[in-house]
Amino acid sequence: MSQILVYVPDNSRHSAEVLTLARGLGEVAAAAFGDEAASLAAEYGAASLYKVDADGLDDYFVAPKAEALASIAEGKEWQAVLVPSTDEGKAVAARLAVKLGTGFLTDVSALDGEGVGTQEIFAGSRIVTSKVAKGVTVATVKAGSVAAEAAPSEPAAEAVDYTVGDDAKKVAVLETVEEPPGDRPGLTEADIVVSGGRGVGSAENFSLIEKVADAFGGAVGASRAAVDSGYYPHKFQVGQTGTTVSPQLYVAAGISGAIQHRAGMQTSKTIVAVNKDSDAPIFSMADYGVVGDLFNVLPQLLEEVEKRK
């Protein structure tokens, strides 16, 4: 039986989701980069493990990982090759597809045993199914497509003998700066996201949005207009060129609901909007909307939450 090769770059929830999805389709072989990735692959049911520990993998941008994955994939029969859909994952998949001369699908939210993938396009307004018509199915899988389920296994491990080739050394990673995550849950992990837009008016006023988020144990988000105006840092931007979120509850305060914003939040389970303009497009998708000044509505909401505690 041919296996499904899964690219496991780290021990993130996203990687665990892709392993879970793959397990539902067949026997999983994991290409794991480093110890943490390898233990995640075992926890999420990989039947076999290719372990890559080459020096300098992270000193160069993307290409070494793509090359190492290709060295594992080449010359064997695969039912599919699955990769988490991140900027890096898509780059790895694209380079692998060129190497293998196969087609590839990006951002699938589901994949069946026949290799048919589901993709949401046009800011989520259309749902298409598609497949790779020539060659093995290479697909990148969106975060949150399935719920990660552990299924511990003891995979047969094989160390991969890979050294970074000169071709893969063209782009050096000089430094990586990670901003501290802070005390609130991350945007993509939070069950509740409270976002503010241009209507919040200033960086100081964003403390009101933070208070509401904290009252619900949620994350804070922002529209691009709020980010561009310097009210809140870019890493909290929700939308097409920010983060895509799909929480149980999304609260949009002082956000008009432009298509690029909706692209990042419209699959939220419940959507609530506060906006003083009754014609704001956000109301057409809200489960509950309050037409009013957010500086009146939100403090009153906070009072009520306090009372009910």
Partner 1 sequence: MDIVVLVKQVPDSGLERNLNAEKRVDRDGSNNVMGELDEYAVEAALQLKEQHDGTVTVLTVGPDQATETIRKVLAMGADQAVHVSDEAVAGSDALATAQILAAALGRANWDLVLAGAESTDSGMGVMTHLLSAHTGAAALTGARKIEIDGSTVTVEHQKDNGYSKLQAQLPAIVSVWDTINTPRYPSLKGIMAAKRKKIEVLSLSDLGVDASAVGAAGASTEVLTVESRPERSAGTIVTDEGEGGRSLAEFLASEKFI
Residues in contact with ligand FAD by CB under 6 A are 103-106, 119, 121, 128, 130, 197-199, 223-226, 237-242, 254-256, 258, 260-261, 264, 274-277, 280, 293-295
**Contact status: 3 vs partner 1 (CB under 8 A):** no
Q: How many residues bind partner 1 (CB under 8 A)?
A: 87
Could you tell me the smallest distance in angstroms from the CB atom of residue 75 to partner 1? 19
Binding test (CB under 8 A) with partner 1, winner from 1, 75, 77, 133: 133
**Contact status: 110 vs partner 1 (CB under 8 A):** no
Name 25's Cβ contacts closer than 8 Å, sequence gap at least 6.
4, 79, 80, 111, 112, 113
Residue nearest to ligand FAD (CB): 239
Q: Over the range 97-127, which residues count as b (16 or more CB within 10 Å of their CB) and which as e? A: bebbebbbbbbbbebeeebebbbbeeeeeee
Name 23's Cβ contacts closer than 8 Å, sequence gap at least 6.
44, 45, 151
Widest Cα–Cα separation across the chain: 65
Binding test (CB under 8 A) with partner 1, winner from 12, 48, 71, 106: 106
Map the footprint of partner 1 across residues 64-103, applying CB under 8 A. 87, 90-91, 93-95, 97-99, 102-103
Q: At what angle do helices 206-215 and 294-308 cross, to 10 degrees?
A: 30
Could you tell me the smallest distance in angstroms from the CB atom of residue 155 to partner 1? 29
Is 104 or 206 the residue whose CB approaches partner 1 more closely?
A: 104
Binding test (CB under 8 A) with partner 1, winner from 25, 54, 110, 259: 259
Which partner from the list ligand FAD, partner 1, none does 175 bind, CB cut-off 5 to 8 Å by kind?
partner 1
Locate 250 and state its tokens.
Answer: 């999304």
Name 237's Cβ contacts closer than 8 Å, sequence gap at least 6.
221, 222, 223, 224, 227, 243
Q: Report which DSSP code applies to 116.
A: -
Per the CB < 8 A criterion, the answer to whether 116 and 173 are in contact is no
Could you tell me the smallest distance in angstroms from the CB atom of residue 28 to partner 1? 23
**Contact status: 131 vs partner 1 (CB under 8 A):** yes
Distances (CA, A) of 134 to 103, 137, 218, 283: 6, 8, 44, 44
Could you tell me the smallest distance in angstroms from the CB atom of residue 179 to ligand FAD? 18
User: Closest Cα partner for 79 from 141, 3, 18, 134?
Assistant: 3
Q: Compose the 163-192 pattern: x for residues touching partner 1 by CB under 8 A, - for all others.
A: ----x--xxxxxxxxxx-x----------x
Is 49 or 194 the residue whose CB approaches ligand FAD more closely?
A: 194
